[in-house]
Structure 1
Amino acid sequence: MTRHTMLLAALAAGAFSLAVVPVEAKPARCYSTDEGDYACDFKQFGGDGSFTVSAPLRPTYTISITGRDEADGFSDYGNGNIPLPGPFYRSSSDRACWISDATAFEVCAY
């Protein structure tokens, strides 16, 4: 193997190992139109600002970024993701919040 090939192989292995490192949930404060304020766990995924928030006895909400300040929203009541009417747009008054254009349902994570 040439030095160049070995370097490329090492870089590829390093990139792969970073891709499989699990992201740990962080304690946060959440708000949703349906649940109000509550303590939750916040977990980012995808490297683009997408995230999930979860808490005991509450649905898990997912905000999956589709474009600048635009996302798809999902809820999971324990049986898998259910698409929420949208799209969701990032709030201009509170950047921690995402609001459905179709229903005004709001999810925030602080």
Structure 2
Amino acid sequence: MIASRQWLQRASAGLLGLGLAAATNLPVSAATARCVVRLSGRTVFDNACDFRQFSGNGSFTINAFGNNTIASYSVISVSIVSPGVAEVRGLTFDGINSRWGVAQRSSRDNACWIDDDFQICAY
């Protein structure tokens, strides 16, 4: 009984280790892009940005280079929840992760995600 319990503990630890390794090695693709962010109809950022895809489904984050911000946010994330629909959030330098809302992929420009209050485009 003790031997089987030890085997189970070692097997569990091994599987947990594999799971953690897999979770930390998610494919990420980084590139420089031109990002345009509009809030309430006003362009607040139109410049080069660091664009990183994650999750393999088209989700991405953008952030300005250096110590610059995008409308007081250090990172903006666009997380695809279903085809053509994304959850958008902004992370402040204070660590506040604010939910901007649900965005739809633009039918006029596939690089853009739009809501009534914001638009995020990454080219």
TM range, smaller chain: 0.7 to 0.9
**Deviation at residue 21 of structure 1 after TM alignment:** 5.6
Q: What TM-score comes out, normalization by structure 1 length?
A: 0.73
Larger Rg: 2
2:87 to 52, 68, 72: 72
Number of aligned pairs? 93
2:32 to 27, 39, 49: 27
Give ranges in structure 2 of 5+ residues lacking alignment. Answer: 1-17
In the other structure, the counterpart of 1:88 is: 103
| Letter of the 2:91 counterpart | D
Give ranges in structure 1 of 5+ residues lacking alignment. Answer: 1-12
Query: Partner of 1:83: helix, strand, or coil?
Result: strand
- Tell me the distance in 2 between the aligned counterparts of 1:63 and 1:71: 6
Give the strand-richer structure, 1 or 2.
Answer: 2
In the other structure, the counterpart of 1:109 is: 122
1:54 to 57, 60, 63: 63
**Deviation at residue 100 of structure 1 after TM alignment:** 1.5
Q: Which runs of 4+ in 1 moved over 3 A?
A: 16-19
Structure 1 residues 68 and 40: alpha-carbon distance in aligned structure 2, compared to 1, 3 A threshold: same
Identity of aligned residues (%): 40
